[in-house]
Structure 1
């Protein structure tokens, strides 16, 4: 098993390896290098060993005496290509998970029915929904958070068409007594998985209202000063 500690472009593993079998070696290699391309070589065309090798993570298998140089070359190339692809996908998944967990705004994943599958800590904290809680998360639908019927219909239309939606302003329900103005954007991750980013506009709306009130107060003050001036003249 010493060779399993070393890194190679591809591993060709024979089923018969003395006291141990190639299946045990595949397990050892995969425990160290998750996406290592491994091809099982077997002299038995029984099917059970081959399937077990694939279940353990082997990229493919070849039966001794039943393949030529061209078949071997193609099998090696495909195994290496698939390994590189899986490693890239794994790396991308890790990056996405990091972004998902650290996002400063509520962020969730839902399916085509708007069922919440996963949510980041900010969403859980704000809405009090645990994605893996039987009481609320699993079986809870994002549409249940949307207050107005028009926005719900727009959302379901987007999901039905498997399209995307950006910057829909709506009102979301925190609980029966608390609501927030929000901007929601929906991006399709795959055929039945959608990312939802929620931007809380409550603070912004409050600031806009405050600025408007200040402007009104300022205008009222100007009018009052003008009237006072006119009264003095009179």
Structure 2
């Protein structure tokens, strides 16, 4: 039987009876082993934030603003730490207020059993790990996006450009964040020929997962570029687009072809001379 994971919890509440109750409930939990440490005051809680807790529980009573401020303090120090509020009040206003501050969930005292409590704790821990992973992935993607040597954009299902890396903005003279609404760029508007433009919009309409189009694109200054446009669906209504400039590639291929012709004719002439 696998060893249970140890989940360290800091429970901040000035009601010691509630703290004892929560500790006793978690002692009967089956999935993991929960070690509950407590703090009765905000200052006591702040002094303990340097320790490596897996999850935070915070008791909340209406009118106690310092308890809401504690959430801000915890999230400022431990951005991804899962945090659950325990309260005796159930209201839509409180729901929005707590969640907007960064709490993962809240539970109404006296309205949960051991299974429900542990399940909510597990969901909060899982979601916090997912959020941290997504942000790290997003930062990694942003780094690749910004440093890519080729034009790289994100667009929606109508080819409206949502984000663009520096090389795209420099090469095509278009910035999706231009404050002038008349300059909202669409990738399809850059395509010179009707067929590839129709093909792009048709693939987007059909939600094709990935496709490539070889087409001629014009810059804002009227420079015409032969390109290969690679499109990959990232999520609902959003696509990654990599634009390869084929002009230099085609020029290089033409140079190589001419060189081969020169070499061939040179060998042919040498053979003929002999």
TM over 0.5: yes
Deviation at 1:16, TM superposition (A): 4.2
Distance 1:46 1:225 in 2: 94
C-alpha offsets along residues 164-201 of structure 1, whole Å, 9 cap, x if unaligned? 34442211112353111111100001110000001111
1:30 matched to 2:75? yes
Deviation at 1:124, TM superposition (A): 0.9
SS at match of 2:189: helix
CA RMSD of aligned residues (A): 2.5
Determine which of 78, 85, 92 is the counterpart of 2:130.
85
Tell me the secondary structure at the aligned position of residue 65 of structure 1: coil
- 3-state SS of 2:174 partner: coil
TM-score (norm 2): 0.75
Q: Does structure 1 conserve the Cα–Cα contact (< 8 Å) formed by 2:231 and 2:241?
A: yes
SS of 1:11's equivalent in the other structure is: strand
Aligned residue among 141, 145, 152 for 1:107 = 152
Greater Cα shift, 189-198 or 131-140: 131-140
Match of 2:192 in 1: 147
Moved over 6 A (4+): 222-227
Structure 1 residues without counterparts, runs of 5 or longer: none
Contact 2:61 2:88 in 1 (8 A): no
What is the Cα deviation at residue 225 of structure 1? 7.1
Please, which moves more after superposition, 14-23 or 41-50? Answer: 14-23
In the superposition, relative to structure 1, how do residues 16 and 183 fare at CA in structure 2: closer, same or farther (>3 Å)?
same
Residue matched to 2:140: 95
* Mean CA deviation greater in 114-123 or 21-30: 21-30
Aligned residues: 229
> Where in structure 2 are the equivalents of 1:49-60 lying within 5 Å?
49-60=94-105
Would the aligned equivalents of 1:5 and 1:29 in 2 still touch at CA under 8 Å? no
Q: 1:168 aligns with which of 198, 213, 222?
A: 213
Partner in structure 2 of residue 10 of structure 1:
55
Q: Distance in 1 between matches of 2:267 and 2:90?
A: 95
- 1:117 is matched with 162
Q: Quick one: distance in 1 between partners of 2:91 and 2:269?
A: 97
Matches of 1:222 and 1:94, distance apart in 2:
56
The 5 Å alignment of 1:42-53 reads: 42-53=87-98
Whether the aligned pair in 2 keeps the contact of 1:22 and 1:40 (CA below 8 Å) is no
Superposed displacement of residue 24, structure 1? 1.0
SS in 2 for 1:177: coil
